[in-house]
Amino acid sequence: MTTVLLLTATGLGVAALYFLVASGLTLIFGLMDVLNFAHGAFVGLGGYVGWTVADRLPGSPGLVLGLLAGVAAGAATAAVTELAVIRPLYGRPLDQVLATVGLGLAIPALLQAVWGADARTWTLPGWLAGTVGLFGARIPSVRFLLIGLAMALLLGLRLLLGRTRAGLVVRAGVEDREMVTALGIDVRRANLAVFALGGAAAGLGGALFGLYQGSVSPGDGTSLLVYAFVVVVLGGAGSITGTALAAVAVGLVQQYADYASASLGDESVVILLAAVLLLRRRNLRGRPA
Amino acid sequence: MSAVEPVNTAANLLELEDVRVRLGGSAILHGVSFTVAAAGVTALLGRNGVGKTTTAKSVLGLYPATGSIRLDGRELIGLPTHAVARLGIGYVPEDRGVFAGLTVAENLRLAEPREQPKAGYPRVYELFPVLEARAAQPAGTLSGGEQQMLAIGRILLRRNRLLVVDEPTKGLSPKVAAEVARALKEVAETVPVLLIEQNLSVVRTLAGQAVVLDTGRVAHRGATRDLLADPARTNALLGVSTARADPVRADTARADARGGTA
Amino acid sequence: MNTLTSTWRRGPLASRWVRAGLVFAVLYALPYSTLRIPGVFDGPLDAPGVLQLLAVCLVFAGLAMSYDLLFGHTGVMSFGHGMFVTGGMYATTILVDHAGFGLWTSAAIGLAVALAAAVVLGAVALRVEGIGFAMVTLAFGQAVAILVVSGSPQLTGGEQGETLDAGAVPAVLSGVRNTANLYWIALAYLAVCALVVWGLAASMPGRVMRALRENERRVEVLGLNPYLFKLLAFVVAGVLAAGGGVVYLLLLGGATPTVSDSNFTLSLLVMAVLGGTGRRWGAMIGGVLYGYAGQSLTRVSGSSAVAGLPGVLRGPLEQPLFLLGAAFVLVVFFAPGGLTGRFGGRMRREEA
Ligand SMILES: Nc1ncnc2c1ncn2[C@@H]1O[C@H](COP(=O)(O)OP(=O)(O)O)[C@@H](O)[C@H]1O
Ligand SMILES: [Mg+2]
């Protein structure tokens, strides 16, 4: 029983990370048809910037400021990417993807150049470093922080998409971008907003991944990105709720299978993906929220 | 080019001059020139696949075109689509462009103009009462005819100088098609319309002027009445004889045309 | 120069097969040459180090061509191509080291396994279209990568990779003196890739693939099933990639998990785009350049000139991937047709 609880908590914690990365990915892909290979770079950057701040400023203030710095770094990098790389290539969708591939190779290399190839240890403040007892299971406190923040993001995104005009534009744009522009709406602003928002979530994800592992390393972004892609495929591009559900499914399946036999976790994720694809003969595009 | 025909700029709202479009490596429009009058309905006709939709999309800036497309003398080519729309061109696309996952009310809200967002609603609801009744329903669950009404009604919330409407009666039953045509006729009393249409009885009742395309070129321009009065010519240009031009037949002709190109 | 290029285009060398034969004849003769090209190669052309470098370039060229069969010729973007390279490489190594089969038997079984895997994986992954396919293949590739690194380390050697049992390698292929033979094997592999890719491109299925790249709807209208032609491209590309994995294995003397990394597949994409996608010589040239740059950038990165730079500049310049990634973005922006598209102006896209 305690094992099940621990596995579930870990699975949900990992799912939270996947959701943080995949939510931006799915909105960007849904709205702009850009499979953003630079997203892992936003994750990595968020992690390192967050770590740098938290390393200088120990304790809880450092943690909070570190997370905020990660968010800011992710958002800023993503916004610059949209403005400087994606927007000039508007109308060349393949080149947009290729350019993000280039960034996805260059930025992690840059991170390695600046912070070195070895992992940097992220020391947690005392209250977060311990575990919480839950029905006899000792669950690391960080997991709850991850789950809480991911749920807050889910709620916030749902409100944003469902209740605001900007959200309406994004939802409509995911369905039919051309028609949105034909109604006199400048989708480029929505594009920038979605990129920045996705980058912010990815930056937060990177910093939280650092907390979860207790360290940050140059390959963090890339390793999360692959699972985030799987989550996007399972959840349906452009769908926030679908992405959240898929993230939970992937996180739990991975942890349970890993417990059964080491390295089975990742294989079972791929089997899950293949099974869903075989059973679901429809296009990748889903609906937002 | 424009010397061939005397151009009365005062009466012409939209002018296309030598418009060329290439898509997926092949030339689709090979220099299309025609004008749309500042009042009433101008029909854009032609068999399936001749480039009518392409013409409409290049007016909206959805396809890259060369040549010149002017609204009241203002060049549209090179403008992004949202800027073209803000100049007052309302677009009802062939597939209706309704956002299926959004509710009817949300579809309408998206089209509201920034200034006086609510001003247009009474007239739209008067024209299409069904939109008010189904406001909370996802647009994807509406019938084809209702979706078409939403697509037209939505655009009427905006202040338009020209409507571009692409095959509004396509796939609708004769009764619903007639209903849509009646609404369009009422709309056309206040806003000029460029109407793409295969249903010749609709064309006959709505359009004063007609432009006929044939494989990316203008094959005919003139009064609709004169064109439809000449069955041989109509048949040569459109592949349907006027005597049998009802929607069902038009659909069959369309299927034939498709089979022929395959 | 002008007369030279015009002879190339209109003279007796006009036939593309004659030209290709000429290029391969020159490549074949390289190990007999003692020519030194200072600044480009460290020694004469017949030096083992130089031949090894060139052989890697040729293998990359073949792999890039196999990738481009999918990406450039058919318009299908896979991010899991590296798994076939991995498959060929590891299947051969494991069969040699742990099942005691001979090298060529193992390689043949490896290719057969890759063929079967390509059919199954392609059949599943191609159910999703466009960019979704890219994500799905990425996930499959990742599964293979994890299997190789942490699946069963006693078979695959984990992160270190697995050395190929030297006893199983024929004497003519081992030892520094025989590097020329390895070079010729790499060249033969490239020639096979070229024959298959060019031959396929000139055939009926190749024309359908090209039509798919331009406009999938038009193919459907003709009553052909796009799925089957994409699957054909996927399978042929996969088997060619597995063959490349075997040759790369011979060059390295062992299997390495780097070929299973998603970055390896991305680098194949980079090669194809750098050279010019869907073109006759594009991917091949891109592969050679990338192979050369990848190996000599490491040299530049480690050079004293870079070491003397201030830290801010030195850091990034010491990262070959940073330079390649940045260069790639520039190519996408400023030379969208790739190098053969940009500078070979009139070199035309493959037209059967
Ligand atoms: N996106 C596209 N890419 C390539 N060809 C297209 C595209 N859209 C339309 N076409 C082709 O352009 C031609 C004209 O199409 P269209 O303007 O839709 O015709 P119409 O509306 O008159 O039936 C057709 O032959 C069609 O196949
Ligand atoms: Mg049309």
Q: Which residue among A91, A176, A185 sits closest to B82, beta carbon to beta carbon?
A: A185
Within a 13 Å sphere around the CA of C19, how many CA atoms are in the beta-carbon half?
Answer: 15
Tell whether C82 is covered by a domain: yes
Number of neighbouring beta carbons within 10 Å of residue C16: 12
Taking CB atoms within 8 Å and a gap of at least 24, the contacts of A279-284 are A281/C127, A283/C128, A283/C129, A283/C132, A284/A233, A284/A236, A284/A237, A284/C128, A284/C129, A284/C130, A284/C131, A284/C132
Is C39's Cβ below 8 Å from some Cβ in B? no
Q: Looking at residues A84-102, what average pLDDT do you find? A: 90
Tell whether C131 is covered by a domain: yes
In total, the C-beta contacts within 8 angstroms joining chain A to chain C are 128
Is the pLDDT score of C159 beyond 90?
Answer: no
pLDDT in tens, C26-49: 898 888 888 888 777 878 888 888
Tell whether C320 is covered by a domain: yes
pLDDT of residue C186: 95
Calculate the average pLDDT of chain C. 85
Tell whether A229 is covered by a domain: yes
Closest CA to A228 of A62, A51, A35: A35
Determine contact, residues B79/B61, Cβ cutoff 8 Å: yes
Residues of chain B found within 8 Å of residue A162, distances taken between Cβ atoms: none
Tell whether A285 is covered by a domain: no
Calculate the average pLDDT of chain A. 89
- The verdict on a CB contact (< 8 Å) between B158 and A169 is no
Prediction pTM value: 0.83
Tell whether A287 is covered by a domain: no
Determine contact, residues A14/A22, Cβ cutoff 8 Å: no
| Domain count for chain A | 1
Residues of chain C found within 8 Å of residue A269, distances taken between Cβ atoms: 139, 143
Which domains does chain B possess?
35-259 (3.40.50.300)
Tell whether A113 is covered by a domain: yes
pLDDT of residue C349: 44
Q: How far is the CA of C332 from the centre of ligand 1 (A)?
A: 29
User: B27 CB under 6 A from ligand 1?
Assistant: no
**Residues of chain B numbered 175-194 and touching chain C (CB < 8 Å):** none
CA dist A249 → A19, A230, A241, C129 (Å): 11, 11, 12, 23
pLDDT of residue B245: 44
- The verdict on a CB contact (< 8 Å) between C215 and B24 is yes
DSSP A25: H
Tell me which residue has tokens 């597949």: C265
Tell whether C352 is covered by a domain: no
CATH number at residue A169: 1.10.3470
Is the pLDDT score of B211 beyond 80?
Answer: yes
pLDDT of residue B6: 43
- Alpha carbons B152 and B158: distance in angstroms, whole number: 11
By CA distance, what is A238's nearest residue in B? B101
Ligand 1 atom having least distance to the Cα of B46:
22
ipTM exceeding the 0.95 mark = no
pLDDT of residue C343: 57
- Alpha carbons C284 and A47: distance in angstroms, whole number: 38
Residue B165 pLDDT class (50, 70, 90 cuts): very high
CATH number at residue C128: 1.10.3470
Tell whether A131 is covered by a domain: yes
Tell whether C8 is covered by a domain: no
User: B47 CB under 6 A from ligand 1?
Assistant: no
The length of chain B is: 262
Mutate which: A270, A279, A283, vs C, most C CBs within 10 A? A270
Range name among B50-54, C66-70, C97-101 with the lowest pLDDT average: C97-101
Residue B238 pLDDT class (50, 70, 90 cuts): confident
Tell whether C4 is covered by a domain: no
Closest CA to C72 of C285, C293, C253: C285
Percent of chain C's residues with pLDDT above 90: 38
Distance from CA of C166 to the nearest CA of A (A): 30
Tell whether C52 is covered by a domain: yes
pLDDT in tens, B95-133: 999 999 999 999 999 999 888 888 889 999 999 999 999
Q: Which residue among C214, C221, C223 sits closest to B25, beta carbon to beta carbon?
A: C214
Tell whether A183 is covered by a domain: yes
What subunits touch chain C, counting only 3 or more CB pairs under 8 A?
Answer: A, B
pLDDT of residue B254: 44
User: B198 CB under 6 A from ligand 1?
Assistant: no
Is the pLDDT score of A47 beyond 50?
Answer: yes
3-class secondary structure, A271: helix
Amino acid at position C339, single letter: L
3-class secondary structure, C44: strand
Determine contact, residues C108/C102, Cβ cutoff 8 Å: no
Is the pLDDT score of C305 beyond 70?
Answer: no
Is B25's Cβ below 8 Å from some Cβ in C? yes
**Residues of chain B numbered 179-208 and touching chain A (CB < 8 Å):** none
Determine contact, residues B209/B42, Cβ cutoff 8 Å: yes
Tell me which residue has tokens 């469902």: A162
Is B176's Cβ below 8 Å from some Cβ in A? no
Q: Which residue among A91, A178, A183 sits closest to B110, beta carbon to beta carbon?
A: A183
Residues of chain A found within 8 Å of residue C77, distances taken between Cβ atoms: 94, 97
pLDDT of residue C116: 96
In total, the C-beta contacts within 8 angstroms joining chain A to chain B are 60
- Alpha carbons A39 and A223: distance in angstroms, whole number: 11
User: B187 CB under 6 A from ligand 1?
Assistant: no
Distance from CA of C217 to the nearest CA of A (A): 15
What is the residue range of C285's domain?
13-343
pLDDT in tens, A73-87: 999 999 999 999 999
| Domain count for chain C | 1
Tell whether C31 is covered by a domain: yes
Residue C18 pLDDT class (50, 70, 90 cuts): confident
pLDDT of residue B37: 92
Q: How far is the CA of B24 from the centre of ligand 1 (A)?
A: 10
Q: How far is the CA of B52 from the centre of ligand 1 (A)?
A: 8
Residue nearest to atom 6 of ligand 1 (CA): B23
User: B49 CB under 6 A from ligand 1?
Assistant: yes
Is B178's Cβ below 8 Å from some Cβ in A? no
Determine contact, residues A257/A14, Cβ cutoff 8 Å: no
- Alpha carbons C75 and C141: distance in angstroms, whole number: 19
Residue C352 pLDDT class (50, 70, 90 cuts): very low
Closest CA to A211 of A109, A72, A5, A60: A60
Determine contact, residues C84/C280, Cβ cutoff 8 Å: no
By CA distance, what is B111's nearest residue in A? A183
pLDDT of residue C192: 96
User: B218 CB under 6 A from ligand 1?
Assistant: no
Mutate which: C135, C147, C297, vs A, most A CBs within 10 A? C135
Distance from CA of B262 to the nearest CA of C (A): 6
Residue nearest to atom 24 of ligand 1 (CA): B49
| Residues near C40 by beta carbon (within 8 Å), at least 6 away in sequence | none
Distance from CA of C188 to the nearest CA of A (A): 31
| Residues near A165 by beta carbon (within 8 Å), at least 6 away in sequence | B109
Ranges of H-type helices in A88-140 = 93-115, 126-129
Structure tokens at A121: 């240890």
| Residues near C54 by beta carbon (within 8 Å), at least 6 away in sequence | C30, C45, C183, C186
Is the pLDDT score of B240 beyond 70?
Answer: no
Tell whether A67 is covered by a domain: yes
User: C215 CB under 6 A from ligand 1?
Assistant: yes
Is C351's Cβ below 8 Å from some Cβ in B? no
Q: Looking at residues C146-166, what average pLDDT do you find? A: 85
Instruction: Say how many Å lie between the first and final Cα of chain C, rounded.
Output: 28
Tell whether A289 is covered by a domain: no
**Which numbered ligand comes closest to the C-alpha of C215?**
1
Residue A281 pLDDT class (50, 70, 90 cuts): low
**Residues of chain B numbered 47-106 and touching chain A (CB < 8 Å):** 60, 62, 64, 80-82, 85-86, 91, 93, 97, 99-102, 106
Chain center to CA of A94: 23
- H helix and E strand count, chain B: 11, 10
Q: Looking at residues C90-116, what average pLDDT do you find? A: 94
pLDDT in tens, C109-150: 999 999 999 999 999 888 887 767 887 888 888 888 888 887
User: B48 CB under 6 A from ligand 1?
Assistant: yes
Q: Looking at residues C295-312, what average pLDDT do you find? A: 65
Is the pLDDT score of A115 beyond 80?
Answer: yes
What is the residue range of A126's domain?
2-280
Amino acid at position B129, single letter: P
C346 vs B60 pLDDT, higher one = B60
CA dist C225 → C74, C129, C217 (Å): 13, 14, 10
Number of neighbouring beta carbons within 10 Å of residue B73: 9
Range name among A162-176, C6-20, C183-197 with the lowest pLDDT average: C6-20
Amino acid at position C38, single letter: P
Kindly tell me the sign of the dihedral angle through the C-alpha atoms of B236, B241, B247, B253: negative
pLDDT in tens, C229-250: 999 999 999 999 999 999 999 9
